[in-house]
Structure 1
Amino acid sequence: MRKRLIVSAASALSLLLAVPASASGPGPQPGAEGVGDPYYPNFGNGGYRVSHYDIRLKYQPATDELEGTTTVLATATQDLSRFNLDFTLKVSEVRVNGRLATFATSGEQELEITPARPLLKGSPITVVVRYKDVPSTVQRYGGYSAWRRTPDGAVVANEPLAAAWWFPSNDHPSNKATFDVSVLVPNGTQVVSNGVLTGTSSQIGWTRYNWREDKPQATYLSMLGIGKFDITQDTTASGIPVYNAYSKDLGANAGAARASVERTGELVDFLSGYFGAYPFSSIGGFVPNIPSSGGLESQTRIIYGPGQFDRGANTSVVVHELAHQWYGDSVSLARWKDIWLNEGFAFYAQYLWSEHENEGTAQELADYAYARYPAGDPFWSVEPGDPGADEPLSWPVYLRGAMAIQALRVKLGDETFFRILKGWPTEHRYGNATVEDFEAYAEKLSGQKLGDFFTTWLFTPSKPPVGPSGAKPAALTAQGNGAVPAEPKSWKKIQETAAVHANRR
């Protein structure tokens, strides 16, 4: 199973259609049907920015019927005659600033809204969308659905698309917002989402769960789990609340899952030593009973597919997903092509954990990876800094991406390197950034020009002539043309994790 949605090659190509230009001329104009992302230009929308989502749902597991009212708080960034939200479910009513609005649907997930009155640039917008549907029956992009039914409920989370199957949004990571999620379910059923559980309430036969994420969150990092769970709660040594949930029927993997995810607090404190203070108000893991070996770094409440624990406990994958809370969630990519900022650093965190556990140093792991692939191997044709729309989460983004980070460590020395590693998520906390932004930050802190370095490691479709150690020792010659270093003890576990994430085995 794949870690998360990677739109198929054919579907990805369909997403590359040019965004229609807004009409020119004076007066209010329609907002763009996408943000113009280099990979997926129709994702997200133009003309406004969202600051908050209030999502109120009622869900019946027996029928998979979802009924909802989402209130979107936004600000117009231009004079608007019309604007879009990204949504796939059946809508019954839309109001804008209290007045009924007309609406229509188009494309794969466009909800086109025409307010009763034009909206002026800088003005606040309150959009209320009422809807009711059976999400698992809604398919887009050639048969894809982000909504997964389970024997006792449902799970929705994926990358890059999932939000549109349960709430209307400006679905691109460049527009982060805060969230309130309130879900009514039959008694005996539980709800897990992002942030902190602020309370529950009951009525005859039903229970409502209220979750809040008060820090900016990208829409693809929102998650919802509904079912019957075993819950554990604790705090990290530094006092951060930990909330973990496990489906009750995980079978043989239940013990290994708990042995891994219950170490979340310890591992947050470990990573804080490298990345700085943990950026959110809670953390935890969720292991649903879905047929998946993947994982997703959904903000504060990470989803782990049960298949991650087929071979026993796996702290390496927990380290990977937790590292994303700094690299990917707090500091989010500005464009999908910047995915190295997420995955390269999360993969490198596994190297740091390996060092800590005395199962192979970061240098040994990077050298071993560099030696495994001959210069002509297609592996080197992927540029981690711009991997392409067809496979943004391809294997080299992780593996070559982590090699690049180790090579940067060697080039700059540990003192400067670790200042950068900790300073970056502090400098850009709760914001968005590009690979070019990271290069500029590394140059500022190191006092060195690094353009050639980043071009070689991230933007050149061939094997770097010098390995991550900064030299070409005989042990690092191409596989088949010389010796390959001994395999570090942690290699197989790290490779398993990243291979699943990168959709490769």
Structure 2
Amino acid sequence: MRRRPRSRPRSRPRSRPRSRLRLPVALFTVLATVATVAACDGGVHGTPGASGLRDPYFPKLGNGGYDVGHYALDLDYDPDTHHLSGTAEITATAGKALSAFNLDLRGLTVREVTVDGEKAVASRAGREVTVRPHDELPEGHTFRATVRYDGEPVTITDPDGTGEGWLRTADGALGLGEPTGSMAWFPGNHHPSDKATYDIRVTVPVGVQAVSNGELRRTKRSSDGRRTAYDWRMRQPMASYLATVAIGKFETERGRTPAGIPVYTAVDPDEAKASAKVLARLPEVLDWEAERFGAYPFSSTGAIVDRAGDVGYALETQTRPVFPVAPDVGLLVHELAHQWYGDSVTPKSWRDMWLNEGFATYAEWLWDEEHGGDTARQTFEAIMKRPASDGVWAFPPAEPPNAAHLSDSPVYERGAMVLQKVREAIGDTKFSALLKSWPTDHKYRCADTDDFTAYVERKNPGKGEALAGVWETWLYGNGKPESAS
């Protein structure tokens, strides 16, 4: 995510966090073959799954008791009436014997829920939909919940005042999810720790298009010729906040990177001329990043460029980042770097945002360093010249004081400064290896700050004391450090 940083007051010191969230089931193909575990004997009964995962900043976000493996979404949207109707087929595995489970859904009306083909009882309390299946779900059982719903999807205002969810645009709509917006257009387990694969079908009136994540498998015109369905498939695991749907008039282009990765771009006609030059460099940027960060983790890439005024920020939606206007090369580098850092390796909780933004910001520093600009060290030193009152020193990157600060400067710039200090502690050769091994060894998984610090220390024996100083001063330290050394 790339939002304009704002200066914030210094946070109070807090204890070093440790996430206790479980890792998600990785792939639908694996999930679908999990053997069904028989129900416990002896009168043991299921219990309801938790209605939240106790995220440090969004405690009610997500749901306990199950892991989603696959979402099949069938959406129908009319921009003129702003009406969305949908069917969500959610394939998941029960983590314990379940008498009920919850789904996150903001606004919209639930019309019917079935579980494994049997009608289920669904009740609503705000954004929590509680589903009580006809029969209890045994631990280890892979089940299929189907939810029919409709209504006028809403725009959600972030704690930082930014809009997300379902954003109406001049010629359609844009679905964006970070950090909680995806619940505005489909029900699910909307915490980053539960990743899944996706099939997303979007039906829209002829004259507008629907663009989403992954690969466009087919388009199909309705029998009356008035509507078109666009079928998209995201084959690798994706956190729900990275899912997107862009509906509108676009100029689309297909191509391939030099390494053979398919490229699909969709650009608002008003931004086509301004975007052409930088989007022509997308294959170059992606291949440069693959050389430094390891093999590209997904089966396609691309971009969505909307017009000015429709959305106020860029977002690293998986395989197809969204830009509010024609991006510059630095922003393209940033959002594509997220495909490794944030999309493939996803934070266990929203407290770990610096692992996304610090790496993506450092990717910009590296690009400049290798393309005739300032070195990463020079960029670091320029930030160090800012006064102690500057917003970059407002709080430690690993400990934003609350959800309103997740997109502030310390998460981005000071997060990148942590990486520069790691580079200086372990040396360029080891650091280059780390940039590849961290996303490779955690591919399609979730990780938190403690996972990262332990990983760096394990990969660099003998550097424990130097790294401990980096963590204490740059990752968790309050205020501006006294020295850049």
**What one-letter code is carried by the residue in structure 2 that aligns with 1:3?**
R
Rounded Cα–Cα distance in structure 1 between residues aligned with 2:146 and 2:312: 37
Aligned to 1:342: 356
CA-CA distance at 1:356 after TM superposition? 1.8
Determine whether 1:78 maps to 2:92: no
Select 2:468's aligned residue among 443, 451, 469: 451
Rounded Cα–Cα distance in structure 1 between residues aligned with 2:450 and 2:164: 34
Rounded Cα–Cα distance in structure 1 between residues aligned with 2:189 and 2:308: 28
Rounded Cα–Cα distance in structure 1 between residues aligned with 2:476 and 2:413: 14
Determine whether 1:105 maps to 2:124: yes
CA contact (8 A) 1:197 1:209 kept: yes
Aligned to 1:60: 78
Select 1:173's aligned residue among 192, 213, 217: 192
Rounded Cα–Cα distance in structure 2 between residues aligned with 1:435 and 1:192: 33
**What one-letter code is carried by the residue in structure 2 that aligns with 1:258?**
A
Select 2:396's aligned residue among 353, 377, 383: 383
CA-CA distance at 1:232 after TM superposition? 1.1
Aligned to 1:212: 233
Change (3 A) 1:145 1:238: closer
Change (3 A) 1:178 1:261: same
CA-CA distance at 1:5 after TM superposition? 13
Cα deviation digits, residues 218-241 of structure 1 (max 9, x gap): 000000001110001110000000
CA contact (8 A) 2:177 2:240 kept: no
**1:250-399 alignment runs, 5 A limit:** 250=271, 254-289=272-307, 291=309, 292-306=311-325, 309=326, 314-374=328-388, 377=390, 379-389=392-402, 390-399=404-413
Cα deviation digits, residues 264-299 of structure 1 (max 9, x gap): 111000111110000000000101235134100000
Select 2:261's aligned residue among 240, 245, 270: 240
Rounded Cα–Cα distance in structure 2 between residues aligned with 1:261 and 1:188: 24
CA contact (8 A) 1:373 1:379 kept: no
CA contact (8 A) 1:285 1:303 kept: yes
**Aligned to 1:296, what secondary structure does the other structure show?**
coil
Moved more, 455-464 or 40-49: 455-464
CA contact (8 A) 1:2 1:293 kept: no
**What one-letter code is carried by the residue in structure 2 that aligns with 1:68?**
G
Change (3 A) 1:334 1:5: farther
CA contact (8 A) 2:65 2:95 kept: yes
**What one-letter code is carried by the residue in structure 2 that aligns with 1:45?**
N
Determine whether 1:32 maps to 2:32: no
Aligned to 2:145: 127
Rounded Cα–Cα distance in structure 1 between residues aligned with 2:308 and 2:96: 43
Rounded Cα–Cα distance in structure 2 between residues aligned with 1:4 and 1:74: 37
Change (3 A) 1:151 1:3: same
Specify which structure has the bigger relative contact order, considering alpha-carbon pairs within 8 angstroms and separated by 6 or more residues.
2
Give the aligned CA root-mean-square deviation in angstroms: 2.4
**Aligned to 1:346, what secondary structure does the other structure show?**
helix
So what's the TM-score if we normalise by structure 1?
Answer: 0.83
Rounded Cα–Cα distance in structure 2 between residues aligned with 1:100 and 1:274: 51
CA-CA distance at 1:137 after TM superposition? 7.4
CA contact (8 A) 1:334 1:434 kept: yes
Cα deviation digits, residues 105-141 of structure 1 (max 9, x gap): 113x111111111111111111000011111478898
CA contact (8 A) 1:48 1:77 kept: yes
Q: Which runs of 5+ in 1 are unaligned?
A: 10-24, 471-505
Rounded Cα–Cα distance in structure 2 between residues aligned with 1:459 and 1:279: 30
Count, aligned residues: 442
Aligned to 1:487: none
Change (3 A) 1:412 1:42: same
Cα deviation digits, residues 185-205 of structure 1 (max 9, x gap): 112221100000011111221
Aligned to 1:433: 447
So what's the TM-score if we normalise by structure 2?
Answer: 0.87
**What one-letter code is carried by the residue in structure 2 that aligns with 1:196?**
E
Identity, % of aligned pairs? Answer: 43
